[in-house]
Amino acid sequence: METQESIRTVTTIGEMQALSEQWRKQGVSIGLVPTMGYFHDGHLSLIRHARQRCKVVVVSIFVNPIQFGVDEDFEQYPRDLERDSRMAAEAGADVLFAPAAAAMYGATFQTAVQVKQITQGLCGASRPGHFEGVTTVVCKLFHIVKPHLAVFGAKDYQQAMTIRRMIIDLDFDIDLDLAPIVREESGLALSSRNEYLSPEERREAAILFQSLRLAERLILQGERDPEKVLLAMQAMIDAVASSKIDYIALVDPETLTPVQVIDRNIRILLAVYIGKTRLIDNYLVELSTGID
């Protein structure tokens, strides 16, 4: 494992491309963990996963302006490059790629990458333009870092499926690994945005995980009507005064299309405001073996 002193911070696209080209000529496998920084244990688990599979691990930190909508939290999004650098090194990263927005998007930048169908609902409906911003920046990172492997977290499930679709459709020679969700003891999925929660809101936010577990119990006990599962989840979440449901959906894990009857494995996705903070989570319910 790399030490803190050995991590290298790269801020220019040219230097990153040159490094990656050198590694590829040497036959070195490259793993990329794309992030917006302000690391928690979930991010570190992605870095460790990449470390296990690749000789070199690059972690990108870029708070991507084009994936934030009007009145979203781009300016407030937590940032601490020095802290992130230390944590990334301890987790096994070799390079921290931290470009400036001006380097990623020059004054004449006008190209976008769009994945259509899989981004239409869920967070795509709530955050217009968000996934176009995500796919555009990830496409650029793939060309800059030239990874053999990209590691994403399962918490942002729609995002990960969107990137997978882009990799397939644009013939990127890149493997995508989906790492498990890391949770607090209460079940709350780790997120940089958890920092926005007050202590009371953080306790109340556990209701997201509790509602997903309720859905699992109902389904494994024989409930096959998605609407009844949705109503039970909604009632549980609505009982928390600070909550406001954005969406709850029971979908096919591959296509993300809503299921009409629960007759196979499904993925439950939700987005809920706790106070002013929008949180997302998801769960795979397997009819035969329980939950992932």
Neighbouring C-alpha atoms within 13 Å toward the C-beta of 91: 25
Q: Which of 43, 49, 130, 148 is catalytic?
A: 43
Decide if 61 contacts 121 (C-beta within 8 A): no
Decide if 156 contacts 181 (C-beta within 8 A): no
Decide if 167 contacts 178 (C-beta within 8 A): no
- How far apart are alpha carbons 177 and 222 in whole angstroms? 32
Question: Burial of 76 by CB count in 10 Å (0-12 exposed, 13-18 middle, 19+ buried)?
Answer: exposed
Q: Is 148 a catalytic residue?
A: no
Residue type, 270: L
- How far apart are alpha carbons 78 and 63 in whole angstroms? 9
Which residues have a catalytic role annotated? 43
